[in-house]
Amino acid sequence: MPSTILVRGANTSVSKALPSVSNITVGFSWDVVHSNGPATEIVACAIVCGQDGRAVSDEHVVFFNQMLDPDEGVLYDESGDLPGGDTEQIEVSVGQIPSNVARIAFVLYVNPDLRRPGTFDSMRDAVVRVLDRSGDEFIRYPVDTHDKDLGATSAMLAAELYRRGDEWKFRAVGQGYVGGVSDVARDFGFSL
């Protein structure tokens, strides 16, 4: 089946595309324009949110330093050689997501721990993909990093997987945060 291509603000039904969905993978890829200074390091993370739109707890923020949420439904994959050209992947076992979870926010941010972390100005060809259990892509969101809302930012809410009744849907968001991951933490209510 051909991929559904999303633009910023658009959404599509995961449940209708894959009626018996139990596991999906959200893949992230990008290129970074290298400079003479330290390279910009981009990180993907997932924030498991309750009905209030905020992280269920600090342990529900999944990234390279906290690879699994407490409910074991969201897993950060750093296997190294990821399929389809993905730089990072996050696996979601939809059947293990508790009913108190309303959405999973997928965030990209520039690692603030570097000497000069940089912004998304150096990021090119960013793509968020959703893959089925067999690894076939069925949703693609090419992120416009030249959008005026993203270029000088250092974190973005890239996309989200959310419930609408009994249905899981996926939305392309592309919302930048000038204050980086600190602003993301404030908005989603978790500690860094």
- Who wins on pLDDT, 182 or 112? 182
Residue 65 makes CB contacts below 8 A (sequence gap 6+) with: none
Residue 173 makes CB contacts below 8 A (sequence gap 6+) with: 8, 9, 156, 157, 158, 159, 160
**What is the rounded (10 degree) CA torsion for 21, 49, 143, 168?**
30
* Nearest one of 6, 2, 3 to 174, comparing CA atoms: 6
Q: What is the pLDDT of residue 50?
A: 97
Q: How far apart are CA 84 and CA 32, in angstroms?
A: 18
Q: How far apart are CA 28 and CA 44, in angstroms?
A: 7
Per-residue pLDDT reduced to its tens digit, 44-95: 999 999 999 999 999 999 999 999 999 999 999 876 666 678 889 999 999 8
Q: How far apart are CA 50 and CA 133, in angstroms?
A: 25
Q: Where are the domains of the chain?
A: 4-187
Chain position carrying tokens 């912004």: 119
Pick the CATH number of 4-187 from 3.20.20.450, 4.10.91.20, 2.60.60.30, 2.60.40.420: 2.60.60.30
Q: What is the pLDDT of residue 153?
A: 81
Q: What is the pLDDT of residue 146?
A: 65
Task: Report residue 162's pLDDT band, with 50, 70 and 90 as the boundaries.
Answer: very high
Per-residue pLDDT reduced to its tens digit, 3-19: 899 999 999 999 998 88
Which region, left, alpha or beta, applies to residue 125 given φ > 0 means left and ψ of -120 to 50 means alpha?
Answer: left
Task: Report residue 151's pLDDT band, with 50, 70 and 90 as the boundaries.
Answer: low
| Residue 16: CB atoms within 10 Å | 11
Per-residue pLDDT reduced to its tens digit, 110-139: 887 765 667 777 778 889 999 998 889 999
- Judge contact between 180 and 43, C-beta under 8 A: no
Q: How far apart are CA 75 and CA 51, in angstroms?
A: 21
Paired tokens of 119: 């912004």
Q: Is the pTM of this model over 0.85?
A: yes
Q: What are phi and psi of 93, to 5 degrees?
A: -90, 95
